[in-house]
Structure 1
Amino acid sequence: MKRFLGSIAILVAAATLPLAAQETDLPQPEKPPEEQCRPDIGCVTNLPLPRYVSLKGSEGNARRGPGLTHRVDWVFTRAGMPLKITAEYENWRRVEDFEGAGGWVHYSLLSGVRTVMVTLDMAEFHDDPDDGSPVIAQAEVGVIGRVQECLPEWCRITLDGARGWVRKAAIWGVKPDETID
């Protein structure tokens, strides 16, 4: 009988615990994707954020949230367009273009191939990373090129088969202090 009464006392004590003590066993609501990871490291890939990638195909939907149920806010329509990844959630990456437009894109639409977009009208491409070297080409705003390498102030870019060095100030798609071999 004493054993039975002891069990009842334990049950009564558990039932009268403060609500806060009982809530620790309940599942907590999931935080929004932006709050789950460190701001400088992607929680899915462990790669640095922000980082640059490019659009793999000729079209990619940017959605309001990470999932197919979210509405499409923006459609990227240029293959190779450089994009900046600012967040990760499962198979989704939050990206933005050089104007800041974007949204959540499925990772399969992105490529690790580094590209840049010319942001200075008639940007000069030099033979060497030196303003005094011969200009071998000029490019209009919006031209996309593939990154070959980058020094602290210059990047070697391929544009339609031609290669040249351009100042980082004339392009978007690399960090100002980034070097690429």
Structure 2
Amino acid sequence: MTGFFKTISKIFNYFFFFAVIYLTPDQNFSLGKKNFFSTKYEEANLRNGPGTNHLILYKILQKGYPVYVVEEFENWKRITDYKNRSGWIANSQLSKATYGIILENNSILFKFPTTQSKQIAFLQEDVTFQIIDCKFYWCKINLKGFTGWVETKNFWGSKD
């Protein structure tokens, strides 16, 4: 009988170990789609700590600038941008609207999500746009009245 109980005990221990590993959410998983935000206003301060008493590292001078949240503290979020710059920003300065930013010059905006589709425009590096929808390796975007599809490899931002 002791062999039977040892076997059951081992099975239970393995089950418990894997249940803890797979059911414990990590920080990125628990934030899910909420990781990406964008700036709500034309000007936002990034600080070296969570609070107005901390130094301003730099200013983001663009509404709709995409940022990725890596940490939260009270009413503040520590974010990074596509250039890996990091800082703290007040929650009130952020929007849940999804935006992206083009990574290289002459990225193509297509009419449909295929490279065989009509080319609508050539996009320049650092141009931001609103993301409407994403499917597989493509996202439908709106850029200053132009709507079309861009390959996800050509931009930084939410692809959900």
Contact 2:140 2:147 in 1 (8 A): yes
Alignment of 1:126-141 (within 5 A): 126-141=110-125
Alpha-carbon distance, 1:159 to partner: 0.6
Specify the code of the residue in structure 2 equivalent to 1:137: A
* 2:31 aligned with 1:47: yes
Matched ranges for 1:165-180 at <5 A: 165-174=149-158, 178-179=159-160
Distance, in Å, in 1 between the alignment partners of 2:26 and 2:116 is: 43
C-alpha distance after superposition, 1:82-136 (max 9, x if no partner): 1111110000000111101130000000000001001121110111100101101
Q: TM-score scaled by structure 2?
A: 0.79
- Using the TM superposition, give the Cα deviation of residue 79 of structure 1 relative to its aligned residue in structure 2, in angstroms: 1.1
Shift of 1:68: 1.2
Is 1:151 matched with 2:135? Answer: yes
CA 101–50 in structure 1, closer or farther in 2 if over 3 Å, else same: farther
Q: Does 1:107 align with 2:95?
A: no
- Matched residues in 2 for 1:119 and 1:99: separation? 10
Cα RMSD of the aligned pairs, angstroms, is 1.8
What are the superposed Cα offsets for residues 8-31 of structure 1, whole Å, 9 maximum, x if unpaired?
xxxxxxxxxxxxxxxxxxxxxxxx
CA distance in 2, matches of 1:110, 1:67: 15
- Larger RCO, structures 1/2 (Cα 8 Å, 6+ apart): 2
Q: Give the structure with higher Rg (CA).
A: 1
In 2, Cα distance between equivalents of 1:65 and 1:161 = 37
The answer to whether 1:125 aligns with 2:119 is: no
- Whole-Å Cα distance in 1 between the matches of residues 46 and 144 of structure 2? 27
1:8 match: none
- Normalised to the residue count of structure 1, the TM-score between the two structures is 0.71
Percent identity over the alignment? 29
- Map of 2:62 onto structure 1: 78
Give the Å deviation of 1:40.
2.5
Query: Which residue of structure 2 aligns with residue 23 of structure 1?
Result: none
Take 2:156 and 2:40, find their aligned partners in 1: how far apart are those partners? 17
Instruction: Show structure 1 runs of 5+ residues with no match.
Output: 1-36
Equivalent pair of 1:147/1:158 in contact (CA under 8 Å): yes
Number of aligned positions between the proteins: 136
> Runs ≥4 in structure 1, deviation > 4 angstroms?
none
CA contact (8 A) 1:155 1:168 kept: yes
- The DSSP-based 3-state class of the residue aligned with 2:105 is coil
